Amino acid sequence: MKKILVPTDFSKPSQWALETAIGIAKKTKAEIILLHVIEKPTDGSFNVEGQVFDYTDQEEKLFTLMLIKKGKSQLEETAQAAETSDVAIQTELRIGNPFHGIRAIITDHKVDLVVMGTSGRTRLEEALVGSNTEKVVRYSRRPVFSIHEKPTTTEYKNIVYATSLNENEKSFAEIVKQMQETYDATLHMVRINTPMVFQPDYLVKKTMENFARKLNLKNFTLNIFSDYDEEEGIIHFASSIKADAIAMATHGRTGFAHVLARSIAEDVVNHSSMPVLTYITRGD
């Protein structure tokens, strides 16, 4: 791992994400890219360095320049405070749509991991607007580590691997194995049984054993956990074993398909108090 992207709006969740990213960077010798996007109603995003803005409204131009000055100052202060940790931090300031700005930086800088803070959302808010973190989880072709609360540890010794036991999880399994190796962690594979989607334990266990063998997993436990739905089951299981993080693949559905079948991973990201590592396996 060489580059970690941390988008920030200078809120507490984004500060917690930076603290988490610093811990990961220390372990992996990675560089952090700290990004702030000044939100404007546009479909794209633009780098503010040397950019000339052609605004017809003088007041809008002055307001934008004020936001740029404030954004630069806040970025520098945040980066300077974090640099005492001996981690290399590069700052990026863009104008436009935050989600598009994040995607552009991921591509331009060949980012390996995105660490984002999330404040969580109610069911209604999720249905109506979603969040930048949720969009990145849904669309990013890089793994995303979502942070909901102030980190209580920089060591992830117990990682819940919530799996659908799908063959297309191979690339995600490699990402999880890298995290496991970095932290010398134990993987706790779990399959959630629900009233609507139920399989006998002996059959699930056999499938999990075959799955683990095909992916060449090591230092893991096999677990079957029953709950009313998969999202709550994953969160409850992780809490019951005092896990440090949850890892799970997401299907990355978009548009109408997403409305019809919400991603369990996105729901867990929104409602879990512990960090959640996600990665899109669509077309894996």
User: Is the Cα dihedral 61, 47, 277, 197 positive or negative?
Assistant: positive
Give per-residue pLDDT as tens, 176-200.
999 999 999 999 999 999 998 888 8
| Alpha carbons 74 and 18: distance in angstroms, whole number | 14
Residues of the chain with CATH 3.40.50.620: 3-117, 158-280
pTM: 0.86
CB 19 within 8 A of CB 8: no
User: Is the Cα dihedral 119, 75, 175, 281 positive or negative?
Assistant: positive
Angle at 63 between CA 60 and CA 66, to 5 degrees: 150
| Alpha carbons 117 and 18: distance in angstroms, whole number | 8
Q: Tell me the CATH number for domain 3-117.
A: 3.40.50.620
Q: How many CA atoms lie within 13 A of 232 on its CB side?
A: 6
| Alpha carbons 35 and 70: distance in angstroms, whole number | 14
More confident residue, 255 or 97: 97
Task: Residue count of the chain, please give it.
Answer: 284
Q: Tell me the CATH number for domain 158-280.
A: 3.40.50.620
Give per-residue pLDDT as tens, 119-171.
755 443 433 334 677 788 887 889 999 998 998 888 999 999 998 887 778 88
Helix (H, G, I), strand (E, B) or coil at 147: strand
What value does the mean pLDDT of the chain take?
84
Split at pLDDT 50, 70, 90, the class of 264 is: confident
Tell me whether residue 218 is exposed, middle or buried, using C-beta atoms within 10 angstroms of its C-beta: 0 to 12, 13 to 18, 19 or more: exposed
Give per-residue pLDDT as tens, 25-78.
999 999 999 999 988 755 555 555 545 455 556 777 788 888 889 889 999 998
